[in-house]
Amino acid sequence: MNKQSPDYLDHLRHSTAHLLAAAVMELWPTAKKTIGPSIENGFYFDFDFGDTKVSEDDFPAIEAKMKEIIGSWKGFERIELSKEDALKEYTDNEYKKELIEEFAGEGQTLTLYKSGEYSDLCRGGHVEHPNSEINHFKILSIAGAYWRGDEKNKMLTRIYGTVFPTKVELDAYLLSIEEARKRDHRKLGKELDLFSFSEYVGSGLPLYSPKGALVRRLLTEFIEEEQVALGYTQVWTPQIAKAELFKISGHYDKYKEDMFKVMSNYSKEEFFLKPMNCPQHTQIYAARPRSYKDLPLRYSDFAMLYRDERPGELSGLARVRSFSTDDCHIFCREDQVDEEIDKALQMTKKVMNVFGFKYRYRLSTRDPQNKAKYLGDPKTWDKVEAWAVEIMKRNGIEYYDGPGEAAFYAPKMDLMATDALGREWQLSTVQIDYVQPERFGLAYTDSDGSEKRPIMLHRAVLGSAERAMMILIEHFAGSFPVWLSPVQVKVLPISEKHLLYAKEIEGKLKERGIRVELDERSETLNAKIRDAQLSKIPYMIILGDREMETAQISVRKRDNQKYEGTDLSEFINFVLDKAHTKHIEL
């Protein structure tokens, strides 16, 4: 296969997964191999090691064995075999037997692929010359994984690795991993005292300390300020609702497995914690008669939402069970849709510029192979998908297609933001929804007295506050811009005799609304500076004899830049300007 082919890297990774399994089976002959696909940026293989414990300490031995084996791998030989012969290949491997029974039942041709002395049940997709093409690989990590992702099944050991065509590409990727580890929001969240988790509260249910809660509030307040300026009004809705609401919306049939059921001691009615705000917002709309003159109605909501994510999929703030979104639903006439979406897109552009994100959009459409999973008239879907393309072209937005990524009720225009490490994250979304108004029987009286159905637009800018915090912590490596920093200034008196002056400076900063802390500890100045830098505080005010004598301050930024003999008033105005204008740079 040509190395420029879009499938080449996938084939290289899958081939290296075979090599990993071959090495593991030589080192641990009693292990049971299961599956080993290629994934984004690498591959993995799942094993049942029985009572044997394999850890990161074993990685050097595994890699050495892989390098020893690869020299004899001149190609991949494809071998077709019957179900009976396939089962004979894996007499002691219940995992492979399960796959063989399943594939044979579906009428699939069963194939083994052999390289050197190693063979495995496989559909194919390999490089042509493994001994010359698989040279630049690395075993990365180890984790537990349930067989076929089902927590009811046995826990297996998953070994992750990566491979690239050249050493330069491998080294660059490993460097990016190391940088990502330094920026890991779980590590920084603990070091900066932003959030935590408790086994007594439950997995995926974050607890925000004062500093973390402040950052979260600053983010939501920022979005709310922008929304108010565009005529959005905030509503508040309960965190539970009757099952009947979700049956009408379609979530009961399409999303029930991901919803938390709530039991009442006094009522036999079925309730659920809400996983999204849209069904309840329809009921605010439906609470009174609506006229065409009332539209558009723009409801924003920061209420908490809950989704029953699988334990193995939970990851810090990236995937949680409790979260809130900067959610908005706009009820409007069809002729108002373009203007409302253009406003939402411009607001989103402004917010992304504040954070310095580059981005593109994904047009999330139906899965062409499974259109039955979507609600509504297919002709309406065709119309809205084409309409979304027109909107993005009109706004000069770069986008790519995402078949199968649509919501079950509408296609989506999803913003994919690129962080400081070049990783893409979905943040904003905009959706044109005909389905929910139809299912809930929403209506308004038009100018001619006829009853019309409103269009429901779904819009979020940051998405969930939790995921937004995760992305921003890692994007800024914990060094938030001034407006987001829980502590903007740290006052550091050199000794106890400078403490009174330090308290005076602290008071003046607080009077102007600057978030400030005074370090009164009997530590050396260097220790205080080091601690402030570890806390990622933007500015430190150093106060000693000279500063007291001149009634000025010395300023040190967290990047070690120094400014001596600074006027306090000028510094306060400087910090306030940075905070007000939401500058990224100090």
- CATH superfamily placement of domain 8-177: Threonyl-trna Synthetase; Chain A, domain 2 (3.30.980.10)
**Domains 222-475 and 482-581 alike in fold:** no
Which residues are CB-neighbours of 211 under 8 A, at least 6 positions away? 192, 193, 194, 486, 487
Q: What's this model's pTM, rounded to 2 decimal places?
A: 0.84
Continuous H helices in 236-376: 243-249, 251-255, 278-285, 337-355
Which residues are CB-neighbours of 531 under 8 A, at least 6 positions away? 519, 523
CA distance 132 to 335: 61
Q: For tokens 């179900």, what's the residue?
A: 83
pLDDT tens sequence for the chain (586 residues) = 567 677 899 999 999 999 999 999 999 999 999 999 999 889 999 999 999 999 999 999 999 999 999 999 999 999 999 999 999 999 999 999 999 999 999 999 999 999 999 999 999 999 999 999 999 999 999 999 999 988 889 999 999 999 999 999 999 999 999 998 999 999 999 999 999 999 999 999 999 999 999 999 999 999 999 999 999 999 999 999 999 999 999 999 988 899 999 988 888 899 999 999 999 999 999 999 999 999 999 999 998 999 999 887 888 999 999 999 999 999 999 999 999 999 999 999 999 999 999 999 999 999 988 888 899 999 999 999 999 999 999 999 999 999 999 999 999 999 999 988 888 899 999 999 999 999 999 999 999 999 999 999 999 999 999 999 999 999 999 999 999 999 999 999 999 999 999 999 999 999 999 999 999 999 999 999 999 999 999 999 999 999 999 999 999 999 989 888 889 999 999 999 999 999 888 7
Q: For tokens 């403490």, what's the residue?
A: 499
Count of C-beta atoms within a 10 Å radius of residue 266 = 5
Query: 482-581 has which CATH code?
Result: 3.40.50.800
Query: 222-475 has which CATH code?
Result: 3.30.930.10
Quote helix, strand, coil % in the chain, to nearest 5: 40, 25, 35
Residue type, 558: R
Closest to 463 (Cα-Cα) out of 496, 431, 510: 431
Residue type, 33: K
44, β-bridge pairs:
160
Sign of CA dihedral 434, 438, 442, 445: positive
Are 100 and 129 within 8 A, CB to CB?
no
How would DSSP label each residue in 3-32?
TTSTTHHHHHHHHHHHHHHHHHHHHSTT-E
Task: Give CA separation, 356 vs 170, 359, 397, 475, in Å.
Answer: 28, 10, 17, 10
Residue 313, both tokens = 């999929």
Q: Where are the domains of the chain?
A: 8-177, 222-475, 482-581
Q: Is 213 in a helix, a strand, or coil? A: helix
CA distance 412 to 391: 12
